[in-house]
Structure 1
Amino acid sequence: MSTSNRPSGLHVILRSSWRRWLVVVVVVVVAVSVVLIHRFDGPPTAGTAEVTVGQDPPTYDQQRRADVTVLLDQWARAVRSGDLDALRDVMDPQADPGFVEAQLRRAAVVPGVPFAEFGYDLGDEPETPVPPSIAAALDSTDVWAPAVYLRYAITGPDASPTRRPVSLVVAERDGRWRLVDDADLTEYRRQTWRGPWDFGPLTVRSVATAAGTSVVMGHPDRDAFVENLTAELPSAIAAVTDFWGDDWAGDGLIFVASSAEEFAELTGSDPSTDVAAVTVSDAVAADGSRPTGQRVVFGPDAASRLTPFTVRSVLRHELTHVAARARTSDGTELWVSEGFADYSGYRGSGAEFAQLAPTLAAIVAAGGPPTVLPKNEDFGAGGARSSVAYESAWSVFAFVADRFGESTLRSLYEALASESPTDSAFESVLGLGRAQFVSSWGDWVARQAG
């Protein structure tokens, strides 16, 4: 599937694979006036945005945004530099201890990651109410739950930064804003995205690939797998470029998860032991610019269950999703996106039809050729049904390549992956109606399985 911030490639492993209704911590008008007088009369407090003389004084909301922006910048600098003293200094005295400890652990990891950018931005969405249980316990001048985003980019594969949500609560006391917590506020559908650096120490490998630098990162318990992927990346990217062409970034960012929780966080999908890897990205911009937020995420079981052959094919499969993302609409059918990526993944492997599609071959041998294309729901069904869906999707593109050639294969993919109806794509690229195409494909499958 290929949607904004959602997985664009699920590859089966055993198949050869987120206002204030500000809890108005109520401050009476006189008290607000005192705060404002204190804020604007005299030199700014440390950590408070300065007001230019001669301009109308900012409203309370404007000043609060300015002050919290300063706080967010201080937070980002402390984490990125690993400055634990500075990090403790931006924490509210009543900050959740677990939040404080998690940030200290994070600050021990982040300096080792090759970030080109790492910062926090205030969003413009309506404010979220602060739960009364949090606001009352803080006993502060003001409590705020603004929309906040982590903005980051990894040097090499990220030409532009991506943004991920942070469910932040901040508090003001003694004229200064500090951090309280970033726990999810599920009742308001607010959540904090966690990156690999939030799940423990990281092994990070940068490797030169055809068009620049690619990066692989995972935790020490996956070191061997990280090294395997690093070694495989240059040839995988070269193979995808040879198949797709050079109109893509030609690099990749690979995350290796060590737990189901981390995998779910990084992919936004439910963890499954059947899933070897998922490719995610941000929404594709209408101006045709390079997609942002593209990552290939390997699941926690991939290291132990993938063979050298399937490591190679899965990596090429997922990188094909990366290459094709700008040409793939969010509504592209799964048999199109998965079949095309599988064809690329297995391309040049020398494996026979029965090796790549054993379940499909057995069914065809017993009951005759396929007569329908796989449905989206088949891919996530699990078991033999998923295997047949993936194998059938691959075989469609293997058939097109065999009969019409790879140039036509790519043209068909682009037509099928656009928002045009599937039937018109068959007609415009192949000169065949849908029924005629399915029949010809079925006959080809029967011959290959025979």
Structure 2
Amino acid sequence: MAGPLLLVALVAALLVWRLAVPDDQDEPYVVPQPSARPAAIDPAGAARALQRLATALGARDRAAATALAAADDTATVDRLGDLADVAAQARLSDVALRYIDADGGPAADGTWAAAVDVTWAYAGFDPEPSSTEVSFRFRSTADGVVVAGVGGGDLRTPVWMSGPMQVSRTADLLVVAADGVDLATYVRRARAAVPTVSSVVRTWRPRLVLEVPADVGALEAALGAEDGYYAQIAAVTGSGGTIEEGAPSHVFVNPDVFDELGKDGQDVVLAHEATHVATDAPLSKAPTWLTEGFADYVALRRTTLPLTTTAGQVARQVRDDGLPTELPTSAEFDTGGPHLGAVYEASWLACVALAGRRGPEALLRLYESVSDGKPFAAELRRDLDWSEADLLRGWRERLRTLPGAAPQG
């Protein structure tokens, strides 16, 4: 009985459908296509937007910079405004932004990421520009490509591009620090470092740049380091870009560690890093123990801190493990190493032993000649009339007599 009733129902439904549809709709139904085209990557449009941004930053024109973001994208408007502000306050020069390549396709919101080669310099401080790749986001609109984001991703984000900045600039000192950082303290500490370094490296014409990001994460993003790499480090000297001849050396601070140090510790850290700047340490060919030990020798030369503070960690290591048989190796300076503090202290005492032989001038000559690539053993003999065995004996003797280095019991 169900079969005939079902057939009648189907015929009736078909008749109702036919009556409801006009005769001119007999053709098969086709889903209408949206009028807007899918978001597309437009490298040429992005390149033009970058050129306009570089021009705006070079002219320190905040309005022109912020106009390159969509008006309703307040986060990017603010970020581009921040870039224009720091460009004006820090006097950025040689700004160039070059589109390289897209990183994947458009996202659901229509934006796409691309690598951009960024070049910049701090006028009056940097002899040559810095250069690195930075991730930008873009969006194609009816009026052209707009910038939709700056920084982040797997590429570097220079400190000056990482958010709102504070700037202090004088003839010999530039401090660029994230909002919220105690700018005045960093300026005071950096200013105190200059005469400390100049008293030993007399040929240095002070031009010190200090960059202070918001936290260790922003520091690692600026230097292209993996997460946690600088977690134990208060500051580091580098270029913020490609390391090559003529690249500028700046001091980059980890505020998470630096801010926990007392005044004496902060002074030592910045004098150490300023010594690296004064001697162009990132390009030094000297062994790491000599590079780091010399910087600590300069920073600690006039300190009144006791040896229990300046060499306490290596003293405990000697007490527990005995005297070392060789100078620290480069591998021991790994930032995640378990005895990093002791390695630095040991390197400092090696340089103290060298300076004790013929004075700080002889130590400086040795360091500079070895940094230039001359053989350490030959220069040690020429400048200090010492063999490597003599240095090892003198260093071990200093370690042996440290307070707290003697075995217990």
1:349 paired residue among 299, 303, 311: 303
Q: Does the alignment pair 1:205 with 2:178?
A: no
CA–CA distance in 1 between the matches of 2:317 and 2:60? Answer: 58
CA–CA distance in 2 between the matches of 1:173 and 1:395? Answer: 63
Instruction: Give yes or no for contact 2:167–2:174 (8 Å, CA) kept in 1.
Output: yes
Cα drift, residue 406 of structure 1: 0.9
1:37-52 maps to which residues of 2 (within 5 A)? none
Cα drift, residue 313 of structure 1: 0.8
Q: Does the alignment pair 1:339 with 2:293?
A: yes
CA–CA distance in 2 between the matches of 1:153 and 1:364? Answer: 46
CA–CA distance in 1 between the matches of 2:259 and 2:68? Answer: 42
CA–CA distance in 2 between the matches of 1:258 and 1:182? Answer: 16
Instruction: Give yes or no for contact 1:156–1:215 (8 Å, CA) kept in 2.
Output: no
1:217 aligned partner: 176
CA–CA distance in 2 between the matches of 1:318 and 1:398? Answer: 18
1:34 aligned partner: none
Q: Return closer, same or farther for 1:384/1:296 CA change in 2, 3 Å cut-off.
A: same
1:263 aligned partner: 219
Cα drift, residue 448 of structure 1: 4.6
Counterpart residue type for residue 322 of structure 1: V
TM-score by length of 1: 0.68
2:7 aligned partner: none
2:76 aligned partner: 100
2:133 aligned partner: 165
1:78-97 maps to which residues of 2 (within 5 A)? 78=56, 81=60, 83-84=62-63, 86-87=64-65, 89-91=67-69, 97=73
Instruction: Give yes or no for contact 1:279–1:297 (8 Å, CA) kept in 2.
Output: yes
1:75 aligned partner: 53
Instruction: Give yes or no for contact 1:115–1:152 (8 Å, CA) kept in 2.
Output: no
CA–CA distance in 1 between the matches of 2:282 and 2:289? Answer: 13
Cα drift, residue 78 of structure 1: 4.1
1:250 aligned partner: 206
Counterpart residue type for residue 222 of structure 1: V
CA–CA distance in 2 between the matches of 1:238 and 1:322? Answer: 13
Q: Does the alignment pair 1:113 with 2:74?
A: no
1:364 aligned partner: 318
Cα drift, residue 107 of structure 1: 4.8
Cα drift, residue 175 of structure 1: 9.0
Cα drift, residue 116 of structure 1: 3.6
Q: Deviations over 1:23-67 (max 9, x none)?
A: xx799xxxxxxxxxxxxxxxxxxxxxxxxxxxxxxxxx9xx5xx7
1:193 paired residue among 157, 168, 191: 157
Q: Does the alignment pair 1:148 with 2:120?
A: no
Q: Does the alignment pair 1:407 with 2:357?
A: no
Q: Return closer, same or farther for 1:284/1:249 CA change in 2, 3 Å cut-off.
A: farther
1:233-382 maps to which residues of 2 (within 5 A)? 233-246=190-203, 248-269=204-225, 270-271=227-228, 272-281=230-239, 286=245, 291-325=246-280, 329=283, 332-365=286-319, 368-380=322-334, 382=336
CA–CA distance in 2 between the matches of 1:383 and 1:148? Answer: 34
Q: Deviations over 1:106-135 (max 9, x none)?
A: 357436522241632337xxx53552345x
Where 1:199 maps in the other structure, the secondary structure is coil
TM-score by length of 2: 0.74
Q: Does the alignment pair 1:439 with 2:393?
A: yes
CA–CA distance in 2 between the matches of 1:101 and 1:425? Answer: 56
Cα drift, residue 254 of structure 1: 0.9
- Higher normalized contact order (CA 8 Å, seq sep 6+, divided by chain length): 1
CA–CA distance in 1 between the matches of 2:379 and 2:144? Answer: 60
Q: Return closer, same or farther for 1:381/1:120 CA change in 2, 3 Å cut-off.
A: closer
Cα drift, residue 295 of structure 1: 1.5
Q: Deviations over 1:255-292 (max 9, x none)?
A: 22222221112333344442111111256655xxxx43
CA–CA distance in 2 between the matches of 1:332 and 1:396? Answer: 14
Q: Return closer, same or farther for 1:233/1:425 CA change in 2, 3 Å cut-off.
A: same
Where 2:252 maps in the other structure, the secondary structure is strand
Counterpart residue type for residue 233 of structure 1: A
Q: Deviations over 1:129-188 (max 9, x none)?
A: 552345x9759xxx995x6333322244234432232334667777955545556675xx
Q: Return closer, same or farther for 1:234/1:410 CA change in 2, 3 Å cut-off.
A: same
2:25 aligned partner: none
Count residues in correspondence: 362
1:122 aligned partner: 98
Q: Return closer, same or farther for 1:203/1:333 CA change in 2, 3 Å cut-off.
A: same
Where 1:437 maps in the other structure, the secondary structure is helix
CA–CA distance in 2 between the matches of 1:406 and 1:110? Answer: 40
Cα drift, residue 309 of structure 1: 0.6
Higher Rg: 2
CA–CA distance in 2 between the matches of 1:316 and 1:267? Answer: 21
Q: Return closer, same or farther for 1:170/1:378 CA change in 2, 3 Å cut-off.
A: same
- Report the more deviating stretch, 155-164 or 251-260: 155-164
Cα drift, residue 250 of structure 1: 0.7
CA–CA distance in 1 between the matches of 2:327 and 2:356? Answer: 18
Where 1:157 maps in the other structure, the secondary structure is coil
Gaps of 5+ in 1: 1-24, 28-60
CA–CA distance in 2 between the matches of 1:274 and 1:177? Answer: 42
Q: Return closer, same or farther for 1:394/1:105 CA change in 2, 3 Å cut-off.
A: same
Q: Return closer, same or farther for 1:305/1:26 CA change in 2, 3 Å cut-off.
A: closer
1:6 aligned partner: none
